[in-house]
Structure 1
Amino acid sequence: MSLLASEKIEWLSLLRGLNIILVVMFHVQLIDLSTGENHPFCTQICELFNLIRMPLFIFCSGGLLYISRIRKNWKIKKLYIDKVKRIVCPFLFFVTFYYVFKLLMNPFTKTKVVFSIGDFLESFCVYYQHPSAHLWFLAVLFWFMMLYPLFIWLSKSVVRMAFFLSFTIIIYFIDFTYFSLNNYFFLFSLNKYLVFFFFGIFVFRYKIYDYLRDYRLFFLITGLYIILFWFKIPLISSLLGILMMIGISQQIALFLPSLFSSFREYIYQIFLMSFIFQPFVELILWKKLFYNEDLFFFFYILNVFFGIFFPVLITKAIEKSNLKWLKICIGLK
């Protein structure tokens, strides 16, 4: 979901830019040939942000739904049509694309795809251990968008909002996957993400981000996040981490408001397409052609660079084309 130029909140654009960097970093794979495993640095640096990365991504989606749709009183039918174009069409396209892509990459990967019609169809509704694994986010996002009428009703009362936020926190701790081993369409994990999506609506509905401009509150939240992160308390750490990242983005925006401007308006397309380009660095450049442990950090940065900027280049090229169907497939309006 994107904002028109007149609607942009600078720190929010910057926050989303930071967020997509964390997402791309999480998917960096650079095999250490001495162990056959991903290089320890790739895992260790991501552990610092694992409690923030996807919760923040989902939080931003909820916040954007409020400021660009709920606040503007979008009609329900119009919203549903928009989300079919923006979520369902890219989902169908990229599930198919990544299945074919993974088949073509079979000679270079450890986990092979054995083609069958059943397996291909299953990849639309079961994501774990399928080429569509990372597209679970689109399924989750679509289900939340279907709750649009509920969110409209809730946003009209602070009591309703507070009650529902409490409800999302409670159900977060229930394991619904017990009822479905395959977790079709990620339905049985929605409770793990609804709290972050609705937290986004809540924060933007009551402009809680304004309070984070106070240095004392910002440092208090940051300190609490570090303590809870150390003791591995996930949900509260994630919520505090989101607030901490908002505060950081607001401070950076004061001095470098255009930071990440080259890609921060394309985070949806980066999320959808980064998996095309990051494996090229990992499997071809690093593993097959230029493997050298002394050059690890260069290839780490190169992997992140490919994951961010090649999707942007592809998107900008498609924007200039007359291929409306392809624009819909990659989530452009």
Structure 2
Amino acid sequence: MKEKVAYISIINAIAIIAVIIGHLDIAGDKSVGTPVVNVIERFGAFQMPLFMCVSGFLFAMTSGYRKKYSDLVKNKVIRLLIPFVCLSLFTFAFKLCLPSSMLKHEVGFNAGYIFKIFFIPFRGPVPHLWFVISLFTIFLFTPILKKTMGKTMFIVMTFLLLSMLTFTPPHLKMLNIEIFAMDKTLSMTVWFYLGMVMQLKNMSERLASWKIAIATGFIYIYLIYFVELSLVNNLVCMLVGIVFIFSLSNRLAEMLPNLFGSWRNYTYQIYLLHMYPIMACKFIYRKHIIVCDDLWFWLIWTVSLLSSIALPTIIAKTGKNMPLCLRRLIGL
């Protein structure tokens, strides 16, 4: 069990680093550092499918899989919806106090925008929190997903069906519903389901091989950088990327069980809070305190990355000593 916790923690750490790098829009497209950053960002394209896969894996591994449905939903309301509402309202109030020139996603004090805060997360004050709502929605449907966990034929058919929903052509507007992040939920459920299958069928242990890690790593790099991705190729690419990270993390957990230190235990809090240090660093960079050359760009980029991990971790560790009602605001 300890080995499982170690390698899953490493997977979470890799995933959150990829997410943060994807959000480090320090200077915009005109920055001299951006071309290199784009190469780095592209490598982490597996980030959200990987997060969903790990969520399904942990769901099947822990007692949540056997919980009564009402208890599961109650737990996820506390764990997911309360932080979502809290951080959305806090960020909304904070952004209202800022000039619009500082905001990539503008806010408004009107009925339409208030509706977006609660029901269209990707268009709300904290766009990346769509993941939290999608994850909650998927948990609502876990009884259906669990019923398919029997014969291999049922699992394969379910995976193929969910894959079809993942890559439904954009012109099918009925599946492009942004309310409650349903559009993204439809494209992510397949990865949550894959995580459940990997745990229940003990697939992760079979992937614990340097040969698999190296082979899938090379294939992933080839697909992500040298292949013009079609819908099917994209599915294959994400699948290969997930296998690569699972296999690599298994091996790393044996060699370096404490890799990424104690902060890897707070990846959920880092995900919830990482945009605040990024916003601060972006403001500092755009104030042109130093001449905006390559060195300045990479200095702020690095500080932004590190602070996005360190500050939420400090808040989470400090929050452990706070009353329960306050801890729940950041998912503790």
Q: TM-score by structure 1 length?
A: 0.88
**1:54 lines up with 2:48 in the alignment:** yes
Find the aligned partners of 1:84 and 1:138 in 2 and give their Cα distance: 10
From 69, 83, 88, the equivalent of 2:81 is 88
Equivalence for 1:202: 197
Aligned pairs, number: 324
- For the Cα contact (< 8 Å) 1:126–1:182, is it kept in 2? no
Q: CA deviation at 1:245?
A: 0.7
Contact 2:159 2:194 in 1 (8 A): yes
For 1:156 and 1:23, the matched residues in 2 are separated by 34
How has the CA–CA distance of structure 1 residues 97 and 202 changed in structure 2, closer, same or farther, with 3 Å as cutoff?
same
CA shift, 1:110, in A, is 4.8
Give the alignment partner of residue 15 of structure 1, picking from 11, 15, 27: 11
| Residue matched to 2:165 | 171
1:124–1:7 CA distance, 2 compared to 1 (3 A): farther
Flag structure 2 segments of 5+ consecutive residues without an equivalent. none
CA distance in 1, matches of 2:199, 2:133: 23
Note the alpha carbon deviations across 1:294-332, whole angstroms, 9 max, x for none: 22222111001111110111111111122x222111111
Contact 1:285–1:291 under 8 Å retained in 2: no
Q: Match of 1:214?
A: 209
Q: Post-superposition shift, 1:255?
A: 1.8
The answer to whether structure 1 residue 124 and structure 2 residue 125 are counterparts is: no
> In the alignment, does 2:139 pair up with 1:145?
yes
Greater CA drift, 39-48 or 272-281: 39-48
**Partner-residue secondary structure (3-state), 1:263:** helix
What are the residue-to-residue correspondences of 1:28-43 with 2, within 5 Å?
28-31=24-27, 35=30, 39-43=34-38
Give the letter for the 2:7 counterpart.
Answer: W
Provide the alpha-carbon RMSD of the alignment.
2.4
1: CA distance, partners of 2:169 / 2:213: 33
Which range is displaced more, 94-103 or 114-123? 114-123
Q: In the alignment, does 2:278 pair up with 1:278?
A: yes
Q: Which amino acid aligns with 1:67?
A: M
Pair 253,18 (structure 1): closer, same or farther in 2 beyond 3 Å: same
For structure 1, list consecutive stretches of 5 or more residues without a partner in the other structure: none
Equivalent pairs: percent with the same residue?
23
- The residue number in structure 2 matching 1:155 is 149
> Alpha-carbon deviations, 1:131-177, whole Å to 9, x = none?
13111111110110001212332234433322211211222221476
Deviations 1:246-281 (A, max 9, x none): 111112222211011221111111111111111101
- Cα–Cα, structure 1 residues 93 and 167, in superposed 2: closer, same or farther, change >3 Å? same
1:314-329 superposed matches below 5 A: 314-322=315-323, 324-329=324-329
| Other structure's SS at 1:283 match | helix
What is the alpha-carbon distance in structure 2 between the residues aligned to residue 28 and residue 287 of structure 1?
Answer: 17
Contact 2:107 2:113 in 1 (8 A): no
> Residues 209-239 of structure 1, C-alpha deviation per residue, up to 9 Å, x if partnerless?
1222233333332333233322122111001
Deviates more, 1:94-103 or 1:126-135: 126-135
